[in-house]
Amino acid sequence: MLSEAFEALTDAPNDDDLFPFLQGHAASLGYVDVHFAVFDRLDDPTNAQRVIQTTLPRAYRVAYHAARFNRDDPTLRRAAVQQTPFGWYDCPELDQARALRRGRKPVARRMLDLAAAYGFVDGMVVPTHIVGADNIRQVGMVSLYRRVPGCPDLPCWFRFLCQMLHEQAVPCPAAAGSTRADPVLNDRVRHCLHWAARGKSRSEIAVILGVSHATVDSYVRDALDGLDAVNTTQAVARAIRGGLIFP
């Protein structure tokens, strides 16, 4: 599954092919709808969301924005500052709101009620972060929706799918006149990224490569610097796209 996913990603020529590919894998994990958006302003992600691609019903999206839920949606704020996937109920506001049955309903409860009206009872969010030339930064999020409670853990390769979708569909704009040389990574750094792509932790990579944890940390820093990446997920995504590693 992992090798097949990366092979298909490497061959995908544009975002029109990549989004359905990601959607298919999401469906295989039990998620019925996928929504991909980016934030043009990091200081206020709730009011600067730009939808790129989605399978959500239009009526649901219209109702969501008509109620101005985007101003208080805790998943938007969390995606702007967190780099790892999280579930709806990892957000305290939503976790507390789902237990409310009587009295005045807070915004979070009304958000859940709207989602439930369209059959959505749970979901996951995969933040995607891009850092380009001159530290220009952009945050995106892939939201996954379920019709049954509980969210299965996302395999590591699915995070790379989401990151690649962002990389390919909305490249981070470089500053005017700036240039970026093709990245050059030594063999050790590429080996480190290879194992990171397969879901290995830094401690596990240290054992595999026969080096210290501090040395692996150094390899990761070199990868981030060489690929202008904000985190290991983005570094792996860029390395695969650039043909630097072949998971």
Among the ranges given (48-62, 96-110, 166-180, 202-216), the one the predictor scored with the smallest mean pLDDT: 166-180
Give the model's pLDDT for residue 205: 92
* pLDDT per residue as tens digits for the range 105-122: 899 999 999 999 999 999
Query: DSSP letter at 181?
Result: P
Using the predicted structure, report yes or no on whether residue 134 has a pLDDT greater than 60.
Answer: no
Q: What's the pLDDT at 27?
A: 94
Reply yes or no on whether the pLDDT at 182 is more than 90: no
Distance between alpha carbon 113 and the CA centroid of its chain, in Å?
25
Q: What is the mean pLDDT of residues 145-157?
A: 90
pLDDT given for residue 167 in this prediction: 79
Quote the DSSP letter at residue 109: H
Tell me what percent of the chain is helix, strand and coil, each rounded to the nearest 5.
Answer: 50, 15, 35
pLDDT, mean of residues 6-34? 77
Higher per-residue pLDDT: 245 or 175: 245
Q: Which residues have CB under 8 Å from 81's CB, separation 6+? A: none
93 Cβ contact partners less than 8 Å away, ≥ 6 residues apart: 74, 106, 108
Q: Summarize the confidence of residues 35-56 as an average pLDDT.
A: 77
Host H or E run for residue 165: helix 156-169
Q: Is the pLDDT higher at 7 or at 125? A: 125
Predicted pLDDT of residue 136: 66
Query: In this structure, what token pair is assigned to residue 132?
Result: 């380009």
Is the pLDDT at 246 greater than 80? The verdict is: no
